[in-house]
Amino acid sequence: MSVNILAVGDIAGRSGLDMLSRRLRSIVRLENIRFVVVNGENAAGIGITSAQAREILSAGADVITLGNHTWGKQDISETLDESRYILRPANFAPQVPGRGAGVFETSFGSVLVINLIGRCGMDFGPDNPFFEADRILKGNPAKFVLVDFHAEATSEKIALANYLDGRVSALWGTHTHVQTSDACVLPRGTGYITDLGMTGPVNSVIGVKTEISISMFLGNPPRRFEAADGEAKLECAVFELDEESGKCLSARALRILD
């Protein structure tokens, strides 16, 4: 027997939220999904509001993970302390609000979800994600372990996945908003993809209006990033997990267009 887990790439702006609301439940039905993790850190363009978090959960997500833009909207701070269904990276400084991991009871067993952030190319110094993963996994009672690694460098993502191979059921990368073609099962049974991609506007630069991004690269005075509109896509991955061992049997990426 096996169970299917869905991981959804970074929600980017209003079009991403709307796309998730329109399509998530049909994907869950078609793919026989039993548990859904959605990265929501760009729902507001930069950050996520408490209202948007509720919207993502109402759309069918079981857990929301975040990333480097966790603090983009200050009203999320109180919600992070109140809701166990919204995770921020576990290797943030220990005094910040919220939690970085949680165990969730399901009809097929306990699921541990871990949210981590990378250190390569980021503008701040989080704790070592490798050591933080070890700390969380020590004495872990859950058979199924899912990791969202929000990181810039593909090398860091691949290295952590191999470091945790056989100790977690699946690890996926988020943050770059570009879906990679390397969905696979690693030698010791961990499902992996370097980046899920994003859920948001197709005609954009990783979710941002193209003219704003182009202007920045031309060296013009900075402008506030604005999420693009128009046709949207939902990018995600399905991990089939063995119900007895918790190991991954198959991994594949999906892209759903409007």
Predicted pLDDT at 258? 85
Which of 36-45, 52-61, 194-203, 220-229 shows the lowest mean pLDDT across its residues? 220-229
Predicted pLDDT at 229? 87
175 as an active site residue: the answer is: no
The DSSP secondary structure of 123-139, one letter per residue, reads SS-PPPHHHHHHHHHTT
Classify residue 221 by its DSSP letter. Answer: P
Amino acid identity of 35?
F
Model confidence at 225: pLDDT above 90: no
pLDDT averaged over the chain? Answer: 95
Q: Which two tokens stand for residue 16?
A: 């991403």
Domain edges within the chain: 2-257
Alpha-carbon distance of 54 to 38, in angstroms, equals 12
Q: Tell me the average pLDDT across 142-147.
A: 97
Angstrom CA distances, 32 to 230, 240, 245, stand at: 29, 10, 19
Sorting pLDDT into bands at 50, 70 and 90, what band is 149?
A: very high
Model confidence at 218: pLDDT above 90: yes
- Pick one of 3.60.21.10, 3.10.129.10, 3.30.460.80, 3.40.50.10680 as the CATH number of 2-257: 3.60.21.10
Alpha-carbon distance of 75 to 219, in angstroms, equals 32
Predicted pLDDT at 224? 84
Q: Which two tokens stand for residue 15?
A: 């079009």
Alpha-carbon distance of 236 to 88, in angstroms, equals 19
Cα torsion for 175, 179, 181, 186, to the nearest 10°? Answer: 40
- Active-site entry in 69, 150, 175, 177: 69
Predicted pLDDT at 222? 86
Q: Tell me the average pLDDT across 48-66.
A: 98
Sorting pLDDT into bands at 50, 70 and 90, what band is 116?
A: very high
Predicted pLDDT at 208? 84
